[in-house]
Structure 1
Amino acid sequence: MTYAEVKELISIVNHSVLTNFELNMDNVSIKMSKNKDIMITQSTGNNVPNMQTTPIQPIQIQKTETSSVSEEITEQSGNIVKSPIVGTFYAAPGSDKPSFVKIGDKVKEGDILCIVEAMKIMNEIPSPYTGEIAEIYVSNEELVEYGQSLFRIK
């Protein structure tokens, strides 16, 4: 199984409704699982015996600064490069190496902009656009979410 096939398999399982997945093939064994929200409901029917249930407290979600950053990004001109996966952002191929790109650099479609490490796999993120790096929204070794803005190219 090639690296690209494993990467595609991870993406497919991640975006599916599956909660568990296992594959055994030749000398390769892959197991994946993900947590899903569980909803507990209480029936009021007469044919069901009374059962004690523990109510689940709703989770309070607070807005973070990324919301305001996203609003600012949409107001500016240029093309936004977003993270295709959740992982750790690396601006350079190594700690002793120069960054792939910096503000003001000219890039062509396909040039490597950064690396996002996910599950110990280093994923090179290519530029989908040709232009100039106008902004870099994340710092080296920062955790990034799926769909989070990484660069603005004008």
Structure 2
Amino acid sequence: MDFKAIEEMIHTMDSSSLGYLEVNWQDISIVMKKKGESGLIKLSNSDNNLEELKDQVKKVKESKNDNEDTKDTPNINQEVKQDDNIKEIAAPIVGTFYSKSGPDKPDYVSIGDKVKKGDTLCIIEAMKIMNEIQSDVDGEIVEVVAKNQDMVEYGQTLFKIKLNS
């Protein structure tokens, strides 16, 4: 991972609503935190630094649990079901949401579109890799929650699909 990639990650995080990002790749760990939390950006490539980083992450997590101002942070373990006929499609990774394959191309799906299992709904770009997100159900798009070029978090709802009866 070169400095330019790290710099781009910092810029992307800064311009997004993302509050926490942790990247572990080969011998490098990067943790970024914002939104009123104490800022933390650290690179480590030795065992001592890694242990220090783990301690800092543990402290941040503990202070986050004690902090009552965590309403902005979604709890991805909590599943809210408003309608048994609605399936929420969540982001499987952190990245940039794209509703279409190019600037001059139409959206993959819009409200009211019928989709089948395996149809491409969007793309999420993570570390310069374009990941197609596909429907795992047959149904009709009732809501597109994410907006084109938004940063999305793991577990964040992207689409709501009304299941075929």
Q: Please give the TM-score of this superposition, normalised by the length of structure 1.
A: 0.60
Q: Which residue of 2 is the match for residue 58 of structure 1?
A: 63
Size of the aligned set, in residue pairs, is 110
State the structure with more CA Rg. Answer: 1
RMSD of aligned residue pairs (Cα, Å) = 2.9
Structure 1: gaps of 5 or more residues: 1-18, 23-30, 40-54
Separation (CA, whole Å) in 1 of partners of 2:157 and 2:101 = 20
Q: For the residues of structure 2 that align with 1:117 and 1:110, how far apart are their CA atoms? A: 19
Distance, in Å, in 2 between the alignment partners of 1:20 and 1:131 is 37
1:103 equivalent to 2:111? Answer yes
2:81 corresponds to 1:74: yes
1:129 to 121, 132, 137: 137
Indicate the SS of the match to 2:81.
Answer: helix
Distance 2:120 2:97 in 1: 13
Select the structure that is richer in helix.
2
C-alpha change, 1:114 and 1:58, in structure 2 (3 Å) is same
Distance 1:21 1:91 in 2: 28
The answer for the alignment partner of 2:156 in structure 1 is 148
Structure 2: stretches of 5+ with no match in the other structure: 1-22, 32-52
1:38 deviates by 1.0
**Structure 1 residue aligned with 2:36:** none
Q: For residues 91 and 124 of structure 2, what CA distance do their matches in structure 1 show? A: 8
* 1:13-58 CA-partner distances (Å, limit 9, x unpaired): xxxxxx8553xxxxxxxx653445416xxxxxxxxxxxxxxx9993
Sequence identity of aligned pairs in percent?
46
1:118 aligns with 2:126: yes
Q: Rate the CA distance shift 1:130–1:93 in 2: closer, same or farther, 3 A.
A: same
* AA in 1 matched with 2:133: I
TM-score, with structure 2 as normaliser? 0.57
Aligned twin of 1:6: none
